[in-house]
Structures are given as C-alpha cells and as structure tokens.
Amino acid sequence: LARAERRLPEDPTTNNPEWEKLHRAFHRALIAACGSHWLIGFCDQLSDQASRYRLISQNAPGTGRDEIGEHRIIAERMLDGDADGAVETLLNHYRLTAS
C-alpha cells in the first residue's frame, strides 16, 4: 500500500485504481480471520458505500493526514499481536476519515 502511487500522475485529484484495490485488500485482511463470511460481506458492503465519502475526505484541502502512517501503525500493532491497540488505531483512522 505504501509503495503504490495513491493518485494518478495525469490527474492528481483522482485516486489510482490499483491503490484503491490495495487499500481495500489491506482493510479486508484485518478482518479476514474473523471466521464469519457474513461479517466480511457486510464490511465489503460498508466499504463500497463509504468509498464516495473517502474520496471526498481525501480531496479536502488542508487535512494534513499521514494516511500511510496510519495504515503502517495499524499493521504494526496487528503483527505485534496488539489487538486492542490495532482496534483503537483503526477506529481513530475511521474517525479521521469521516471527519
């Protein structure tokens, strides 16, 4: 995710479809081991519905967010086995995106 270009070089206001694919895969990987196909499907639907709002949020001026850093911290906490820390960081990530 961090290595992919987030924006299209020819149109910096448009997200790169490859980055979007990797972003979705990252968030899906966080819940993949839950064991509930229903929950995964529901989260996929929520992601689809929220995509337009993510795009608006990402194009808002002056957000000053380090979204790649946010994803890195979430991944580090998951890999360290810090589920509570990962959930806390993920919820903060969602709140920042929604604001």
As averages over each run of 10 residues, the pLDDT of the chain (99 residues) reads 87 86 93 93 90 70 78 96 95 86
Place of tokens 């967010």: 65
- 37: amino acid identity, one letter: H
Q: What is the pLDDT of residue 91?
A: 94
